[in-house]
Structure 1
Amino acid sequence: MTHVVLVAGPWLAGTTSLVAALRDRMPEHRVLEAAELAAGEAPAAVVFVVSAAAPLTASDCALLDVVAAGTDAVIAVVSKIDVHRTWREVLAADQALLTERAARYRELPWVGVAAAPDLGLPVVDDLVTALRTVLADNTLTRRNRLRAKENRLLTADGAAREGCVAALRDQRAAVLRRFRLDKSERTIAMRSQIQQARVRLSSFARARCASARTELQDDVAALTRRGLAGFTDEVRRRAAEVGDDVRDEVTGHLADVVEQLGLASDVATPEGPRYEVGAAPVRSRNAETRLMMLLGAGFGLGIALTITRLLADLAPQWALRGAIGGAVLGLIVTLWVVSVRGLLRDRAVLDRWVVEVTAGLRTAMEEWVATQVLAAEASMGRAGAERDAVDGADMEDAVARIDAEIREQTVRRARAAAVRDRAVAAVRAELEGERLRLWPSESFL
């Protein structure tokens, strides 16, 4: 009967050379390495190869547990005994280590081999004899089936349920992580939008006041005597326009911020900022007027005398008329000089007043903008807190459902473990009975 023999071991243990030697000595059986074993194919016997260079490590023992999980017939081999003279001490150490690890390894057969020696023929006779003896045992098939059944009972259901619980725990962690991340992202986004709104709206208020100042200064430069009386009202109207523009810009931009953040916060339309503009400064200028009249009179008198002398020289018959005409023209020039100087002086006063008014208007607009942004920040903060509370409640519900499912899976796993333990105990008892027929004085489970 052809059996499958699996030869496995840690790296550099000599498995490949041992496989070649066994294939040559036992052509009636299929001797395979771990990579050659087909999926779902179970070997009849396992030859576990370790090097005689050093004792087994924890990873080597774990590899033995894996390859021998579904096979009861296992033979341990220490290779390269032709090179390492202390292989017997290494074999004894390995044997003691595996005996402590599991009871099933207590009577494990140990063989020393040299599958590819530097000199002479391969030393595998003891291994071939032990393999033929194991494979010829008529209880081998039943023992392997019982060992595979025990392994399935111990691993399949438990692994599936452990995987389900692990997936639920990962899901729970993902829910918590997503809630914290979303909350942090929303908080950062709100702070960023508020800061941007504060900078943008303050800049808009300053620019709007600057443009109003420029427009008013242009109006002052073109102001006539008739326009002086209504200039104060014009300044008040421009200040009201600036307030309305700033209010519209603030309201619209904050509404856009609320919409972008997805908050259930209504930005109420606030009353626009108002800045009280006082009357234009009217200062007494009697002394200046008298001075200008004096200067204008002198200038007019000079013109009158000039014209009179000119006419007296050119047309003596017109001397009297020239004197009267020069006096009238001098008076007109005097009045014109006084009027123009007064208008220029009023324009200078109004220009300084416009600068003062727009400076105060700018301060008022900036304070109003800061107040509105602060109020909007508080409103959006409350709306964000309410949204976080709703999301937090949803998160807690989701976590509670996952925790309940984890507890349910834990209870199911405990019940399944109890059933499994009873089944494993029965399989082990049957397997021990089979093995006691071979080794009556020992217990291997």
Structure 2
Amino acid sequence: MLRAHRSTRTGHAQWRHRLQRIRLELTHSARQRCAAVRADLLAEVAAMTRRTRPAVEDRVRQHCADTLDEVNDEIDARVGELTASPVPSPPERAIIAPAPPRRARRLETQLMVVLGVGFGFGVAVVMARVAAPLAGVLAVGGTVAAVLAGLAVTVWVVRARALLHDRALMERWVADAVAMLRTEVEDRVSARLLAVETARVVAVDRRLAHMEAELRRYPERRRSFDPSATDFAVTDR
């Protein structure tokens, strides 16, 4: 009985060591998954256009949901290495990422327009000076072409600046969403393994308490069979 008592304590210590190793491996794996998701999403944002923005937003949410499922599956597999009995999982929280900002602030919009007009006006002035030495119809045509080129440059600069602004907003949104994802997966790893550890500790404590009660009753049982026997020390021999 004493040997079984010591063996139970030793086995529990080894089990706790294995639990800590699995916790570290799961946490590292979850962080690696989040880093990979972040890199993939930022690459999509870098190639995003204003037309494809809704699709990118949907992929961000889908990537986060898929990563959560993958982490849950990995946790289930590793928990199976620690215990064969089912352990109730703690309640899971859904990740609700805030909606990405959709409109630039008024001051930023005004700045984009001013920059676009400035670039367009500069192009128009340069082309008008080039067309100035021309005479007659060529001069008029050159002036019209200069105005059209200036307008085209203005529109292009405004649209390009707006797209870059949208990409910057989306990059920050992706970073926030992945940060929430990383926090959630780490919490799930910790909560799940804590539940497994708690169930194991309760079972081991009950077993040890039963063994200790048996050890305390052993001298009384011996005296009941041999009234002349005295108390003795129980050893593992």
Band the TM-score falls in, shorter-chain normalisation: 0.7 to 0.9
AA in 2 matched with 1:370: S
Q: Percent identity?
A: 35
AA in 1 matched with 2:97: V
Q: Distance in 2 between matches of 1:349 and 1:246?
A: 28
AA in 2 matched with 1:354: V
Cross-structure match for 1:321: 141
Q: Distance in 1 between matches of 2:29 and 2:88?
A: 20
Residue 113 (structure 2) pairs with residue 288 (structure 1):
no
TM-score (ref. length: structure 2)? 0.80
Residues 365 and 284 (structure 1 numbering): CA distance in 2 closer, same or farther, change over 3 Å?
same
Give the CA deviation at 1:320: 1.0
Q: Distance in 2 between matches of 1:381 and 1:358?
A: 34
Contact (CA 8 Å) 1:240, 1:274: kept in 2 or not? no
Residue 155 (structure 2) pairs with residue 330 (structure 1):
no
| Structure 2 gap segments, 5+ residues each | 230-237
Which protein has the bigger strand share?
1
AA in 1 matched with 2:157: V
Residue 56 (structure 2) pairs with residue 228 (structure 1):
no
How many residues end up aligned between the 2 structures?
Answer: 222
TM-score (ref. length: structure 1)? 0.45
- Identify the match of residue 206 of structure 1 among 19, 24, 31: 31
Cross-structure match for 1:377: 197
SS in 1 for 2:133: helix
SS in 2 for 1:197: helix
Q: Distance in 2 between matches of 1:292 and 1:333?
A: 13
Any idea what the Cα deviations from partners look like across 1:317-352, whole Å, max 9, x if unmatched?
311112112211211110110111111111112212
| Structure 1 gap segments, 5+ residues each | 1-175, 260-264, 411-445
Give the CA deviation at 1:180: 2.3
Q: Distance in 1 between matches of 2:135 and 2:199?
A: 90
Structure number with greater Rg is: 1
Q: Distance in 2 between matches of 1:190 and 1:364?
A: 26
Matches within 5 A, 1:34-433: 176-259=1-84, 265-267=85-87, 274-313=94-133, 316-385=136-205, 392=211
Which protein has the bigger helix share?
2
Q: Distance in 1 between matches of 2:143 and 2:205?
A: 91
Q: Distance in 2 between matches of 1:277 and 1:363?
A: 12
Contact (CA 8 Å) 2:89, 2:195: kept in 1 or not? no
C-alpha RMSD over aligned residues? 2.9
Contact (CA 8 Å) 2:71, 2:185: kept in 1 or not? yes
Q: Distance in 1 between matches of 2:165 and 2:124?
A: 27
Contact (CA 8 Å) 2:101, 2:169: kept in 1 or not? yes
Residues 254 and 382 (structure 1 numbering): CA distance in 2 closer, same or farther, change over 3 Å?
same
Q: Distance in 2 between matches of 1:315 and 1:224?
A: 43
